[in-house]
Structure formats: C-alpha cells, structure tokens
C-alpha cells in the first residue's frame, strides 16, 4: 500500500480549501493511505472527510511556523517515529514553502512534492512547484497534485454530515430551533480585524427574525463576548449555541440552515462545503483568494474604496474599512440568497 503524507497544519477554513487537492490526490491514488499532518482539531476530519483521509498526525511544531508551539524534543521524537517507517510520498500543501519545506523534508519520505519561493529549501529530487501568486487558495493548491499527474476533480469543497452528528445536534438543541426555518449568524473571526461590528450582526438578526426565521448564534468559547453582544443587542429572541458544537455538529447545523451570515472565516468555508447559502462580510481579507467559488450560492461583500478615516485603500486598522459594508447591503444580499433558494427548490 502506498503511504502518503499531506502537510497542512492550519485552521479550519485553510484546510477546507485543500479539499479539491485531496480529492485530486485520491483520484490518482485510490488505494493509498493518506495521512494529514495537521493541528489537533483536524482529527474530526477523519469522520467528515472519510473519502480522502485515512489518518491524522498532530503537527508537533517547527521553528518559523506559528500555528503550534515548538518544543525541540517533541519534534525530534515525532520525526524519528515517522522516519522509522517512511512515507512513500510527502506533499507540502501548507503554503509557499518558507520553513515548512524543511519540516517536510525531515519526514524522510521516499518522494517529496513541495511548493517554494526563492530561497526556500528544496529536495534534491522530487516535484518542485513555484508557489502560485494568483488564483483562489483551492486553485493554487491544486498545482501540486497536478504536477504529480493527478487529475483535476473540480473546485467544489466537501464536508460530510454523518447521522451521528445530526443526532448529537438534536441532543444539544432539543426543541430550541422550533418548526420555523433558521439562519445562522456567526459574528466571530480569528483576528479582530476580520470582524464586522456586532451591532450590525444584531440588526441583521432582528430583520431576519421579523421575516419569520429563527436566528441561531454560533461561535467558539473565545468568541463568546461577540455572540453575547449580538444576543443582548437584538430586540428579537435568538438561540445561542456558542461553545456547544463540535465541527461535526456545526456542519449538521449549517447543512439544514436556510442561510449563514458571517465574517470571512472558517464558518464561510463550512457553509460552502455543505452547500448552504451564505452572505460573507470580508473585512480586509483577500477576497479573490478566499471567497467561495460558487458565487450564485455564496455572496461576499467588501468595501474596496479608500477608508474615510485614513484615506488608505487598504486601511491599516482594517476594521474601519469594514464599516463600508452596511446592514442594508447584507440584508439585500440575504434576501436575494433566500429568494433564490426558494425558487431553486
């Protein structure tokens, strides 16, 4: 059996953007054992991406890679364990190649495929692809499996919704979602600069609740102040599921939602992966790189004119430029998405 390691030790949205590359890889190597070297949360993907992943190894940390704290002894033990039974192929799908190429080479795989920029470490043999500087993240990542002879299998993301996660979601929510259709509002994002204002999410929640939708708030434990601010600012009632969901139950929740309204963060990629319509406010992010490909089902809003307070095209504070996207803009896009889905059904 061919054993393949894929290095992408990043956050949820980043990894979901790699699904087209994983699908391409699986098509070329249908019987291979594919192991993702990722962050601890990625273990959930074994259930949610069963067609493409067979195992997950926790990235131990490495100098220059900020996603995990580096401990030399832990990393040395990790590398020694994997070198003792080397992979047949290691793919560096983490990014451009800075620092992570050194880690990928130290896995000791029999074959290596990496992205690189000038000055990055490179294998003496194997596949070496210059890091693409244009295109979406999914399109960029596909360049590496393509160089290995893997077929393009489309850019659509994927995320399975197992029955067990649907059952777990019902146990969490009980009757709180009620009989009406519901919309998910996710006001958080990893970086403050990526967050639209909570009071504006609250205004959207009130408008959608007035139109007959149950409003469900989602977020991680660290985002509780944001969801709390939205809930307390709303005049209408909402269901707050902050810090109650796993990735699997979140996928189940989003799958059956009528709409998702969120920042440009992992929640946007979950909505795309389960084909639920979304409206995404992009605050300072690279829309061309990170927006969902299905522009009919997913609407991304941003403000690309100079920020009034600073008159910079790219505002140093980012947050001020997000003010250019108004409640009316998001509500109009939400109504378009909801109307389209009704007509489509």
pLDDT at 340: 81
151: left (phi over 0), alpha (psi -120 to 50) or beta: beta
How is residue 251 written in tokens?
A: 């996928």
SS3 content of the chain, % helix, strand, coil (to 5): 40, 15, 45
Query: In a 10 Å sphere around its CB, with 0-12 CB exposed, 13-18 middle and 19+ buried, how is residue 32 labelled?
Result: middle
Sequential DSSP letters for 204-227: HHHHHHHTTPEEEE---GGGHHHH
Least confident of 53-62, 211-220, 276-285, 295-304: 295-304
pLDDT above 60: residue 308: no
- pLDDT band for 318, please (50, 70, 90 cuts): very low
pLDDT at 209: 97
pLDDT above 70: residue 245: yes
- pLDDT band for 191, please (50, 70, 90 cuts): confident
Q: Tell me the pTM.
A: 0.92
pLDDT at 322: 55
pLDDT at 341: 67
List of domains in the chain: 3-147 (3.40.50.2000), 163-344 (3.40.50.2000)
Please provide the average confidence, as pLDDT, over all residues in the chain.
93
Sign of torsion, CA 58 63 67 69? Answer: positive
> Mapping DSSP to helix (H, G, I), strand (E, B) and coil, where does residue 175 land?
coil
pLDDT at 53: 98
- pLDDT band for 304, please (50, 70, 90 cuts): low
In tens, the pLDDT along 110-142 reads 999 999 999 999 999 999 999 999 999 999 999
pLDDT above 50: residue 344: no
Give percent of the chain with pLDDT exceeding 70: 93
pLDDT at 313: 43
Distance CA(157)–CA(17), nearest Å, equals 7
Q: Using an 8 Å Cβ cutoff, are 274 and 255 in contact?
A: yes
Distance CA(315)–CA(26), nearest Å, equals 41
**How much is the average pLDDT of 310-314?**
42
Sign of torsion, CA 68 74 75 78? Answer: negative
């Amino acid at each position: 059996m061919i054993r393949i390691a894929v290095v992408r030790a990043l956050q949820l949205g980043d990894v979901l953007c790699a699904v087209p590359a994983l699908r391409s890889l699986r098509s070329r190597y249908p019987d291979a054992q594919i192991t993702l070297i990722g962050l601890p949360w990625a273990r959930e993907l074994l259930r949610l991406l069963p067609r493409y992943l067979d195992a997950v190894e926790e990235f131990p940390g490495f100098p220059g890679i900020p996603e995990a704290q580096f401990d030399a002894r832990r990393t040395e033990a990790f590398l020694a364990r994997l070198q003792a039974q080397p992979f047949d192929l290691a793919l560096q799908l983490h990014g451009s190649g800075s620092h992570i190429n050194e880690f990928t080479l130290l896995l000791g795989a029999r074959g290596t495929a990496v992205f690189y920029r000038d000055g990055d470490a490179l294998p003496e043999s194997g596949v070496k692809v210059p890091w693409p500087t244009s295109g979406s993240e999914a399109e960029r990542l596909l360049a590496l499996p393509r160089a290995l002879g893997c077929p393009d299998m489309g850019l659509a993301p994927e995320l399975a919704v197992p029955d067990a996660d649907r059952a777990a979601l019902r146990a969490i929510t009980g009757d709180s979602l009620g009989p009406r259709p519901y919309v998910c509002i996710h006001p958080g994002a990893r970086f403050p600069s990526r967050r639209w204002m909570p009071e504006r999410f609250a205004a959207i929640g009130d408008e959608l609740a007035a139109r007959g939708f149950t409003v469900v708030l989602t977020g991680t434990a660290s985002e509780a102040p944001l969801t709390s601010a939205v809930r307390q600012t709303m005049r209408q009632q909402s269901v707050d599921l902050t810090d109650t969901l796993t990735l699997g139950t979140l996928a189940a929740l989003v799958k059956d939602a009528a709409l998702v309204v969120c920042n440009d963060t992992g929640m946007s990629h979950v909505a795309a992966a389960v084909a639920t319509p979304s409206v995404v406010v992009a605050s300072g992010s690279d829309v061309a790189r990170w927006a969902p490909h299905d522009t009919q089902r997913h609407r991304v809003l941003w403000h690309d004119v100079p920020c009034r307070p600073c008159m910079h095209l790219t505002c140093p504070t980012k947050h001020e430029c997000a003010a250019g996207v108004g409640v009316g803009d998001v509500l109009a896009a939400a109504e378009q998405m909801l109307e389209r889905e009704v007509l489509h059904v």
